[in-house]
Structure 1
Amino acid sequence: MTDIWDERVAGVIAALRHRLTGDYEVDEFGFDKHITDSVYLPLLRPLFRNWFRTEVSGTENIPVDGGALIVANHSGTIPLDALMLSVAVHEAAERYLRLLGADLLFRMPVLSELARKGGGTLACGPDAERLMGNGELVGVFPEGFKGVGKPFTDRYKLQRFGRGGFVSAALRTGVPIVPAAIVGAEESYPMLANVKPLARLFGLPYFPVTPTFPWLGPLGMVPLPSKWLIEFGKPIETSHLSDDVDDPLVIFNLADQVRETIQQSLYELLERRPDPFS
């Protein structure tokens, strides 16, 4: 254990020395590969491997190169699922997942900067299209706050997928859509109630009450050690639909196909994981 911590401390010192030299690059979206590799991923891997004991399947469905859109279910009160999905992609394919986030995230000074340095950007069509057109893997959670802020009684029931903007972006760039199902986040922060007056007071989409928050104060922010399963489904090709980018029926049907695929995968993963804390 001591050797592991010595290595981590040495790694942090080396990263700081590298930062001081200014020998690193930041892309047009603010993504900082160096800080992602030296700080973000090393911090997230213990959570991914040891705390949640994450098992990943279907990694052969992650494109090894070129642009693609990974679409996943969203849940868990605090969106750790987005971070764990990023780690899963990097562990399996050594690629970076460029996450699309809600505008609320990018209105918060510190979190906005951290998100952008980790590869995140605002969930809007032009940014998504530019990223995928540049050959990047883009991650999106079409349920948005409806998914991440739903009560525990609705766990693993996919919410509405909005207007299908993610489908339009994929069609315009001709990249495949990879459905991803995530089981485990629902139990990490089970939301028992939503105190709407406090949510309005703080300008938040919801104010959660969980078994540990707000009762334990800051300790209530520690996620429960639920067992996580992540599965990547077979890519859905879109290149043959280039003439239908403005057809609302095609967009709706494709969004519904992705949603049903993820929902079915969730049911199968839940059968595979009968005990959420095993």
Structure 2
Amino acid sequence: MSKQKAHDLGAPRRHKYGHHVPQIEQRVLQRSHRILSRLIKSYFRSEIRGTERLPTSQTIIVTHHDGGMLPINGICFGVHWYDQFGFDRPLYVLTHDALHSLWDPFSKLMADSGLLRADRRAMDAVLATGQSVLLFPGAARESFRSFWKRRDIDLGGRKGFVAQAIRWGLPITPIVSAGAHETVIVLSSGQKLAERLRIPKIVRSADVLPLVAGFPWGVWAIPFLPQIPIPAKITTEVLAPIHLSEALGRDLRPEDAHDETIVQAGFDLVLTRMRQAIDQLYDERKYPFVG
């Protein structure tokens, strides 16, 4: 038996899906799109603006993480993406490791739909195919921020997507949404408690222990329990793509991805534009949930 085959046989089952770019199953994708499209357009009254700004070529799409365990804003955007481009232009999405380790059939369904583990190896594999990728840098810290801070985004302070944009020479397309963080009421993020309990050392990116209110559990402090989202209206806006060389006024090269000053400047630029845009969206809303 070859060393490679022995290595493959000995690999943990939790790595079976999500690390390699899958061949998206259009039949699965079309069926999922049909179901989710009806759901988000009726239950959440989802609307999107600025789809004409989406590049027709490869791009890195970045958005904030809302809605607790369910990235409702990401689901809404995914539906609108396929409305815009059809199924011949796939959208790959980077998601938390835990979602790929629950149950093999579920992990396979995610892979068939273009969902991968959120790490650089998976992202590089997608970008090498020439396809676009959607990611949520904020992870749990942002998805479980307090309901009263729903318009506050910080992307978890994670800047890796900027380095990747520089390394691959690709534009960053920011996406913002209002309403997705009204689909669940986070009373407290529990970030300090999580730090005291050293949870981030046990589970990657799990730097919160939130107290959540919603259906069907009432008030609970177990973030991975399934929930029935509140039918809040969700409005999404696609912002203009950011070409970092142009925006920062310098001819960037792949090696600049290791320059912390340049990466920080790019991150600050993206975050500033996203914060301005989400403030405008929330300013338009007359009431929470209703829109």
TM over 0.5: yes
The answer on 1:91 being equivalent to 2:83 is: yes
1:56 pairs with 2:68: no
Is the Cα contact below 8 Å between 2:63 and 2:176 reproduced in 1?
A: yes
Aligned ranges for residues 100-115 of structure 1 at < 5 Å?
100-110=94-104, 111-115=106-110
Measured after TM superposition, the shift of residue 35 of structure 1 is 3.5
**What do residues 92-139 of structure 1 show as CA deviations (whole Å, max 9, x unaligned)?**
233332111122222222443232121011112232123123221100
- Paired residues for 1:1-278 under 5 Å: 28-64=20-56, 66-78=57-69, 79-94=71-86, 95-110=89-104, 111-193=106-188, 206=209, 208-215=211-218, 221-238=227-244, 240-243=251-254, 244-275=256-287, 276-278=289-291
- The answer to whether the Cα contact below 8 Å between 2:73 and 2:236 also exists between their aligned partners in 1 is no
Contact residue 212 and residue 219 of structure 2 kept, 8 A: no
1:212 and 1:34 map into 2 onto residues whose CA distance is 33
SS state at 2:186 partner: coil
Q: Which secondary structure does the structure 2 equivalent of 1:98 belong to? A: strand
Residue by residue, what CA displacement relative to the aligned partner does 1:21-56 show, whole Å, maximum 9, x if unpaired? xxxxxx952343324433211111012211111111
Runs of at least 5 residues in structure 2 that lack an aligned partner in the other structure:
1-18, 221-225, 246-250
**Post-superposition CA distance 1:75-101 (Å, at most 9, x none):** 111322221121121112333321111
29-38 or 249-258: which moved more?
A: 29-38
SS at match of 2:278: helix
Report the Cα distance in structure 2 between the residues aligned to 1:36 and 1:273, rounded to whole angstroms: 35
The residue identity in structure 1 corresponding to 2:50 is: G
CA contact (8 A) 1:69 1:138 kept: yes
Q: Once the 2 structures are TM-superposed, how far is the Cα of residue 241 of structure 1 from its aligned partner?
A: 1.6
| Corresponding residue number in structure 1 for 2:3 | none
Unaligned residue ranges in structure 1 (runs of 5+)? 1-26
Q: How many residues are paired up?
A: 249
Any idea what SS the aligned residue of 1:221 has?
A: coil
SS at match of 1:254: helix
Runs of 4+ displaced beyond 6 Å: none
- Structure 2 SS opposite 1:77: coil
Q: Taking structure 1 as the reference length, what is the TM-score of the superposition?
A: 0.79
Deviations 1:212-231 (A, max 9, x none): 341399xx822111111111
